[in-house]
A and B are shown apart, each in its own frame.
Chain A
Amino acid sequence: MEKGWEKQFIYMSQIIDMPVIDLSVNKRIGNVKDLVAIQREAYYKVDALIIRRNIFSKKICLQWKHVIKIAEDKAVYIDKLDNSSDCIYAIQENEILLKETFWDKQVVDISGAKVVRINDLHLLKEELNLWVVHMDVSLKGLLRRLGVENLFASILRFLFSHELKDTLVSWKYVQTIVPSKNESLQLKVAHSKLSEVHPAELADILTELGIEERMIIFSSLDSNTAAKALQELPMKIRIQVAEQLPNDKFSPIANEMPMDELVDLLAALPKKKFNSFLSTLPKDKVMQIKDLKEHSAHIAGSIMNTEYVSVKHNLPAGEVLKKIVSGTKVESIYYIYVLDDNDALTGVVTLRQLLTAPPEKAVAEFMRKKVIRVKIDTDNKAVSNIFLKYNFDVVPVVDKQNKIKGIITMKDAMESVYPEMREKLEEPK
């Protein structure tokens, strides 16, 4: 009979608790208590098994190479119990226990962008090798664990002609939540997967998780994704997360956040955390933050963002474009503000104008000289009215000397005037 390439799928619940038969002495030496797996590319491969004779004996760890037959739902057969491979909890840095780590635990299903609980693991049996390929989050898996799958399925079939379906999620879409002991393991898996999820959905996932799990997932995000997700979180959780982040992790995230959001968040933090975080920032950033904080809540100065592009009036269009391309993150690149020799606001150009103008032409020649602006102490309502009246998305904020201090987006203006709108969005679901 041609052996060929034997491929089959089994569930981990068909192996756990099965007797282990040592064929060299033809006796049961214990039961399978757990499987040790090591990560190979995107999937885990079973490396060893954990055996325990009875409730009172210690667990022993046996290399997978000793396994010569797997009879699911029946037994696992090994060639001999090699004494030198007895190891008690000698699990390596990059190995994990499948049952202890995954069964009944929560993970993130990236394809569905939600938190799910693993009922069972679906394994690929490739000759004698076992690979974790799916997680089972279905009712069927739950019933299988309870040992009543067949009973239930036949009842359902009899009563309703309904077949219980498997819900298997490919391991590629699983973001595990493994606590810090296995940090190296977790970081390898992390980045690529979660950054594909939309920040609003990430925020939903984070909200649903327990406190420790939330921090684990959040810490595994890159700064950009983390900043975006942070902004989508309800305020209460945002504060909780920010508070628990060590300063060195918080800094890069804070850098990616728009200033006005950052200041709001910092202001809500407890004193100790606020001060300790400030002390890690460069002086000018601290001044910026303090400035923004000081403005009372109802004026333009408190909702403005200090990241904008401004150029001198004699700069040619080509140079301006270069500046935008190479520049740091700003809130909006569609309006570029033009300053005169005294650094006062004298005009504005749009990105469209820059792209269509001859590159050697100075911006002063085609800029719009009449710039609608607001003062730092202009009331929020007045700011909103300006947006309603004129058809643009961003308005500059100037001080008494007409020097530009920041910009306000329409979204910020609307939110400031209608705080109820903001709260509604943040309501826990």
Chain B
Amino acid sequence: MTETPVNNNKSGIKSLWAKIATFFAVLGPGIITLSAGNDAGGVTTYSVCGAHFGYSMLWIAIPLTLGLIVIQEMSNRMGVVTGKGLSGLIREKFGVRITFNIMLGVFLGNLCNAATEFAGIAASLELVGISKYISVPVFASLVWILVLKGNYKTVEKVFLFGCLCFLAYIFTGFLAKPDWKQVATSLVIPQIKLESGYLIMLIGVLGTTIAPWMQFYHQASAAEKGTRPELLNYSRLDAVLGSLAANLVAFFIVITCAAALHNSGQRIDVARDAALALKPLAGDYCFYLFAFGLLMASLLAASVLPLSAAFTVCEGFGWESGVGKRAEEAPEFYIVYSILILFGMGVVLIPNISLIKLMIFSQVVNGLILPFITVFTILLSSDKKIMKQYANTKIFSIFAWLFGIAISLLSITWLVVLFTEILNKRNL
């Protein structure tokens, strides 16, 4: 009887365009979160991995990516279906005490992360001769203003644009002329060397790829975006593609440094060293591109991570939060965010500060809370009361628990090995 069609699905092509349009409308949370995961700490870790161990760790790329996809998919789904953030859900299900401990970990970890990001900004600009005493305060202020005075849409657009710059690393990878046959074999054939250095690196790579703050931010971002649960599949695509893209970038960083630096036996400590080392061995283009990628990565992360921490903490404690709110409306949010930025900025400006130690500390804190967050995420996304018909299916649960337990065990192992190393060094 009703003749009037609301949509005009005349041809298959039109509906394909409609689908693509829908995808771009929900795109954002996944890509941004995962790209910000390749921050200064990440770039450093991957560079060191490639320079010191060559292609020998590439085999972890595929299982790691799968694990990442599983976890981020859960975070995304929870955000879309409930419209709430992870700390809110944790508080409602597990209570205030657990929430408080997690918040403490998130805040401490992010204090160090903030410092690392600003260090990345400082380092990349120092490579072209700009002093950190200029670059860091300028960018810190820019980031502060953008996030607190902008609105969510603008901020998201700026972040998305920042993600494009990671292409620089992919180009760098090709310029470094790696041995593709070796890359391919290393990708598929696992080789595990049971030496502590190798293990520490391996788990360091894991820790930097799957970080707790990513689960908080992704879920909060997905909830804020307001995608309808019916469009969950498009949103999932955003999460999957984001994970793939981010790990692809990491992959290229590893092979760049492996190709250019591994054979010459160069030891590097920070991403900066990696960039510098690339210059004589792989040419000027490589150097500049790498440095540019580092700057962009650090900027994006410097904007995203403190914001994520501020949202998480405020939500966990029931304080007002939000981009674009006035100071009177959300005082705690302002305070937490400003502390993070100020700390990050301040620490970097201290002369002769050891940023490596800061990075390791933040990785330790992240490693400590990662198992808990992973387990909570799996428990929450399986809860039918919270997720209704979108709860984990049995098959998905099995994979999720497998990855979750593997990640948790690896995290704990790393902490143990690391502490043993530190104690051994002390005893020497």
Contact = CB atoms under 8 A, between A and B. Distances in A.
Interface of A: 103-106, 114, 116-117, 119, 137, 139, 142, 145-146, 209-212, 214, 236-237, 239-240, 243, 267, 270-271, 274-275, 278-279, 290, 427-429
B146 to A, nearest CB: 16
A298 B228 CA distance: 28
B324 interface: yes
B284 interface: no
B2 A428 contact: no
Given A211-B229, A271-B6, A274-B6, A427 B88 contact: no
Interface stretch (B91-99, B164-172, B274-282, B345-353): B91-99
B318 A142 contact: yes
Given A209-B83, A290-B4, 12 more contacts: A103-B95, A103-B96, A104-B95, A145-B97, A210-B83, A211-B84, A214-B83, A240-B228, A243-B228, A279-B2, A427-B153, A429-B151
A275 B2 CA distance: 8
Contact of B224 (A103, A243, A428): A428
Given A209-B83, A428-B224, A429-B325, A270 B2 contact: no
B328 interface: no
Nearest to B1: A279
A63 B81 CA distance: 39
B139 interface: no
B317 interface: yes
Contacts of A209: 83
A239 B231 CA distance: 13
Nearest to B80: A211
Nearest to B332: A139
Nearest to B2: A275
Contacts of A240: 226, 228
Contacts of A274: 6
Interface in B1-58: 2, 4-7
B96 A142 contact: yes
Contact of B100 (A106, A116, A146, A428): A146
Interface in B213-243: 223-224, 226, 228-230
Nearest to B154: A427
Nearest to B100: A146
Given A275-B2, A429-B324, A211 B151 contact: no
A293 to B, nearest CB: 8
B365 to A, nearest CB: 20
Contacts, number: 71
A211 B222 CA distance: 12
B322 interface: yes
B318 A117 contact: yes
B388 to A, nearest CB: 8
B135 interface: no
Nearest to A243: B228
A104 B83 CA distance: 17
Contacts of B230: 243, 270
B152 interface: yes
A106 B87 CA distance: 13
Interface residues of B, number: 32
B413 interface: no
21 contacts: A104-B92, A104-B99, A117-B317, A117-B318, A119-B318, A139-B317, A145-B97, A146-B96, A209-B83, A211-B81, A211-B82, A211-B229, A212-B82, A237-B226, A240-B228, A271-B6, A271-B7, A275-B6, A278-B2, A428-B152, A428-B226
Contacts of B96: 103-104, 119, 142, 145-146
Contacts of A267: 6
A38 B224 CA distance: 36
A127 B299 CA distance: 61
A243 B96 CA distance: 34
Contacts of B226: 236-237, 240, 428
A210 B84 contact: yes
Interface in B277-312: none
Contacts of A137: 318
A278 B5 CA distance: 12
Nearest to A142: B317
B314 to A, nearest CB: 11
Contact of B153 (A119, A139, A243, A428): A428
A428 B322 CA distance: 9
Contacts of B320: 114
Contacts of B153: 427-428
A210 B2 contact: no
Contacts of B228: 239-240, 243
B342 to A, nearest CB: 20
Interface string B97-108: 101100000000
A114 B325 CA distance: 14
A116 B315 CA distance: 10
Contacts of B83: 209-212, 214
B6 A210 contact: no
Contacts of A271: 5-7
Contacts of A103: 95-96
A429 B322 contact: yes
A210 B91 contact: no
A116 B5 CA distance: 44
Contacts of A142: 96, 317-318
A216 to B, nearest CB: 12
Contacts of A119: 96, 318
Contacts of B88: 106, 210
Contacts of B224: 428
Interface in B63-114: 81-84, 88, 91-92, 95-97, 99-100
B307 to A, nearest CB: 15
Contacts of B99: 104
Interface in B177-204: none
- A-B residue pairs, 8 tightest by C-beta: A117-B318, A211-B83, A210-B84, A210-B83, A271-B6, A236-B226, A145-B96, A104-B91
B2 A105 contact: no
A429 B99 CA distance: 25
Contacts of B317: 117, 139, 142
Interface in B125-178: 151-153
Contacts of A212: 82-83
A210 B82 contact: yes
Contacts of A145: 96-97
Nearest to A99: B95
A151 to B, nearest CB: 14
Contacts of B92: 104-105
Contacts of A214: 83
A210 B324 CA distance: 20
Nearest to A114: B320
B372 to A, nearest CB: 17
A270 B7 CA distance: 9
A427 B151 contact: yes
Contacts of A146: 96-97, 100
A145 B4 CA distance: 59
B302 to A, nearest CB: 23
